[in-house]
Structure 1
Amino acid sequence: MPKKIRELIKELEKARFINRGGKGSHKNFIHEKGVVLTLSGKSGDDAKPYQEKIVKKKIEEVSSERNR
Structure 2
Amino acid sequence: MPRKIRQLIKELKKAEFVNRGGKGSHRNFKHKNGPILTISGALNSDVKPYQEKLVKIKIKESKDERKR
Please tell me the TM-score bracket, short chain as reference.
over 0.9
Query: How many angstroms apart in 2 are the aligned matches of 1:3 and 1:60?
Result: 20
SS in 2 for 1:21: strand
Aligned Cα root-mean-square deviation (Å): 0.9
**Structure 1 unmatched runs, 5+:** none
Instruction: Give the count of matched residue pairs.
Output: 68
Divergent runs of 4+, >2 A: none
TM-score by length of 2: 0.94
TM-score by length of 1: 0.94
Counterpart mapping for 1:1-68 below 5 A: 1-68=1-68
Structure having the higher strand fraction is 2
| Alpha-carbon offset, residue 61 of structure 1 | 0.8
Query: How many angstroms apart in 2 are the aligned matches of 1:3 and 1:62?
Result: 22
